[in-house]
Structure 1
């Protein structure tokens, strides 16, 4: 499939990553939500919820010119899901909402600037498409990698992500 627009390329990349992310999130054992492989690591449940909440962060890049972390009226993710059903429902809702926002956007809007800041302190300033890829997709993939390590340490077989996993029969 040939995708020629910035918007279509981001949507194709997003769709690919959402499938893999959902497969991994479906494996999270909520009865072990407090599992923490290291004292400096997030707990398993926190990490899974963070991955899902990053979808709303990506949508923010698409729909707004900036986000001030000090703004008390800024978007908040709401209470953390405490079950598979709740986590996957939030994931599906946020995925659909992000896809819709991207579909309503266009290449010109995606080249507009986005500023992430804390009051007067600029944390990042870049084109929206770049912010979506770096602080959105890459950030999510990074945390998804962490989640795969947590699951491996809990002896939960992993699905294929970018090719077969060590748990796939293809490796023998």
Structure 2
């Protein structure tokens, strides 16, 4: 749970940058990749990271959000660019609209009372969860995976260093 606006901003700036690296590596041809038939696609999950930011609207935060109309774009570039704009808008809005005290207020989330600071933490955790799914699907699709918390296998290779096993 966040008790400091600045701590959230620092964390989300870092986490959204990691997500952006992955989304920038997607291709239109691979958005249909599924882990198994009938499961969510790479394109669905990537777009879900954009539209799920709408959960923050329940906190009273006003930012440039994208409604979840059920359809993910067929363009990887559109997904990546929309995520970039949405993440920047969230950062600007939190900085301008929230205070440390505001993070202690409770809002209705899924029929429960969540503190806004908890909601911000759940939002980041949700993104990290789906980002992990995205990296697995990227590997299955043969796409290069960018390192988020350290170099990926491809990044180690580019450095001329064997990846740890």
TM range (shorter): 0.7 to 0.9
Distance 1:83 1:109 in 2: 37
State the structure with bigger RCO (CA 8 A, min sep 6), 1 or 2.
2
> Residue 107 of structure 1 aligns to a residue in which SS?
coil
Contact 2:30-2:141 at 8 Å conserved across structures: no
C-alpha distance after superposition, 1:42-83 (max 9, x if no partner):
11111110012223333x25425xxxxxxxxxx833553321
Unaligned segments of structure 1, at least 5 residues: 65-74
Q: Where is the strand percentage greater, Structure 1 or Structure 2? A: 1
Equivalent residues, number: 151
Q: Does 1:129 align with 2:129?
A: no
Q: 1:40 to 1:81 in 2, by over 3 A?
A: closer
**Runs of 4+ residues deviating >4 angstroms:** none
Q: Does 1:42 align with 2:29?
A: no
Contact 1:53-1:77 at 8 Å conserved across structures: yes
**Match for residue 131 of structure 2 among 131, 134, 144:** 144
* Normalised TM-score (structure 1): 0.79
Q: 1:126 to 1:12 in 2, by over 3 A?
A: same
Distance 1:45 1:149 in 2: 13
Contact 1:33-1:44 at 8 Å conserved across structures: yes
Unaligned segments of structure 2, at least 5 residues: none
Other-structure match for 2:72? 80
> Residue 101 of structure 2 aligns to a residue in which SS?
helix
Distance 2:85 2:152 in 1: 28
* Normalised TM-score (structure 2): 0.82
> Residue 153 of structure 2 aligns to a residue in which SS?
coil
CA RMSD of aligned residues (A): 2.0
Other-structure match for 2:14? 16
**Match for residue 60 of structure 2 among 42, 60, 63:** 63
